[in-house]
Amino acid sequence: MNRPRVLAALATAAPAAVAAAHIIPAASWLPAVRSVLRPALDGRGRADHIALTFDDGPDARSTPHFLRELDRLGVRATFFLEGAAVRRHPALVRRMAAEGHELAVHCWEHQPPWLPRPVADRADLERAVAAVRETAGMTPYWYRPPYGVLTATRWWGARRAGLRPVLWTAWGRDWRADADPDSVLAKVSERLTGGATVLLHDSDRNSAPSSWRATLATLPHLITLCRYAGWTVGPLADHGLAPPLRERPGRGSP
């Protein structure tokens, strides 16, 4: 056996193996995969309930509009927050908590998911958890990664930060420049059934400019549709997923 050739082959194969191990869990991004293998990750909860969730906030330009509309509709939701934005808009985050919304972790800031970054992923999530806890006085429980790409290092980082990953059952593709209320509602409706978790965005920070306006205009129609079907609409905390390993987040939690 040619030892130099073997060592060279191993040196070439090792990075590829690490990269594969890192990215394989991201197959859970595919609804057909996670709905069969990990229904809890798909956000499947109580059959009489719809979990309403928003990503990418808080955003001082747009999130207050969502808070006013949700209050008018009598609905509370789960907001997956960017930790850096929490630090920039603490008063808005405290308002979200005071109005009864559930605060969860999206990231510190959006980062490309493809390269393994175990130390950075863990540090970013721990910083985001601390930002929410110190700002709003509640410890977040849920985690949804940017782009819904749940790599191995993000899984590990979430676990070390005490977070439970959850993706979504139905989304509105509301980040697109061509999104409008009709297209958002139609896309959500494709997979909207009792027990679904709905993904929308309360900010255009990582989306087409002003795309949040289509989402905002969709809300009353979506809530009416759900109520007509006999489903209540609320946060993930009320969705009946498997009980957490620690105390569920809520106002006044340590």
pLDDT value at residue 150: 85
pLDDT value at residue 119: 82
Q: Which of 89, 101, 106, 201 is catalytic?
A: 201
pLDDT value at residue 35: 59
pLDDT value at residue 41: 86
Residue 180 bears catalytic tag:
no
Per-residue 3-state assignment (H helix, E strand, C coil) for 5-44: HHHHHHHHHHHHHHHHHHHHHHHHHCHHHHHHHCCCCCCC
Q: Where are the alpha helices (DSSP H) in 24-151?
A: 31-37, 63-73, 83-88, 90-98, 118-136
pLDDT value at residue 20: 43
Amino acid at position 114, single letter:
W
pLDDT tens digit at each of 254 positions of the chain: 455 443 333 334 334 443 444 444 444 545 666 656 566 788 999 999 999 999 999 999 999 999 999 999 999 999 999 999 999 999 999 999 999 999 999 999 987 765 667 788 889 999 999 999 999 999 999 999 998 888 888 888 999 999 999 999 999 999 999 999 999 999 999 999 999 999 999 999 999 999 999 999 999 999 999 999 999 999 999 999 865 454 444 433 33
What domains sit in the chain, N to C, each tagged with a CATH number?
38-237 (3.20.20.370)
CA–CA gap between residue 194 and residue 50 (Å, rounded): 6
CA–CA gap between residue 167 and residue 144 (Å, rounded): 6
pLDDT value at residue 114: 59
pLDDT value at residue 27: 46
Beta carbons within 8 Å of 223's beta carbon, 6+ residues apart: 73, 75, 233
pLDDT value at residue 216: 98
Q: Which of 55, 59, 121, 174 is catalytic?
A: 55
CA–CA gap between residue 242 and residue 244 (Å, rounded): 6
pLDDT value at residue 165: 93
pLDDT value at residue 252: 37
Cα 187 to Cα 59, 179, 180: the distances in Å are 24, 10, 11
pLDDT value at residue 248: 41
Residue 171: both structure tokens together:
């989304």
Determine contact, residues 174/211, Cβ cutoff 8 Å.
yes
Residue 201 bears catalytic tag:
yes
